[in-house]
Amino acid sequence: MSEADAGEAGAHAGAGSGGWPTVDFELTVNGAPQRVTGAWVGENLLFVLRERLGFTAVKDGCGEGECGACTVLMEGRPTTACLVPAVAATGLAIETPEVHAVPQPDPVAAALAVHAGAGCGFCLPGIGMEMRALLAHNGKPSAAAIRETLSGHRCRCLPPERFIAATRDAAKTLAHKQAQARAQADASAQDAQDAQAERELQAERELQAEPQPPHESPIYPRVPAQAGERTQPGGRARAGENDSEHEQAGARS
């Protein structure tokens, strides 16, 4: 709990009807703000979640942090809610089993229903939260890693092999969904590139289809003819000029 949160909580502290000190504060549960008023300062997070806010999937087992039934995620880390003062959770992101199972069960909840549905189910919500934290940073855990992770949870109905199988099935489903999401993202990116290339090609076609101004040849000034006889190279007059001279000589004779 930060100093600012503690100061805010302390500002709303008072005394209950029985003389016990009470406090008002706000928790962030499953992404939504939850206002708590008139809570005894010593109430743990388990009591507040179940009795004051109605998140009954958080189970009340031993009350000493030994059975793991009350496990929730705080900032993504498994935490036994019975050992955390509720007022100390102010400002932290809390996840309870409800967000992963209602209205649609996630891969972990579905795998537990298949492999561990024969038990009483009391311990399953806490085990499921522990499994989610494990799979968040280890997409393919070994059997030893699963056993170690779940060692703090007590199940009197089923052997550990059921939970190992459930964890592996959930891991496969999550990996498949992640692969589908990556493929969809790649396809969307490719579609965007194709659309951009098509727009550029269309713009180029429109530019080429625009009418171009007619091409005009440059006009050069004509050089006036020079006076006198125009002769071909070598001093010989051109054929047309010789014929004219012969005609003039015949007329004079």
pLDDT at 111 > cutoff 60: yes
Confidence tier at 67 by pLDDT (50, 70, 90) = very high
**Residue 3 confidence (pLDDT):** 46
**Residue 207 confidence (pLDDT):** 82
Helix ranges restricted to H, the chain: 3-11, 45-47, 98-101, 107-115, 124-137, 143-149, 160-209, 239-252
Q: What is the three-state SS of 79-103?
A: EEHHHCEHHHHCCCEEECCHHHHCC
User: pLDDT per residue over 1-50, tens digit each?
Assistant: 554 554 455 445 565 556 789 999 999 999 999 999 999 999 999 999 99
Mean pLDDT, the chain, whole residue set: 85
Phi-psi category of 36—alpha, beta or left, where left has phi over 0 and alpha has psi -120 to 50? beta
Higher pLDDT, 222 or 168: 168
Tokens of 50: 């179940």
**pTM passes above 0.95:** no
pLDDT at 94 > cutoff 60: yes
Write down how long the chain is: 253
Q: Which of 13-17, 51-55, 183-187 has the lowest mean pLDDT?
A: 13-17
pLDDT at 76 > cutoff 80: yes
Q: Domains of the chain, with CATH numbers?
A: 1-96 (3.10.20.30), 97-192 (1.10.150.120)
**5, 55, 198 from 150: Cα distances, Å:** 33, 22, 54
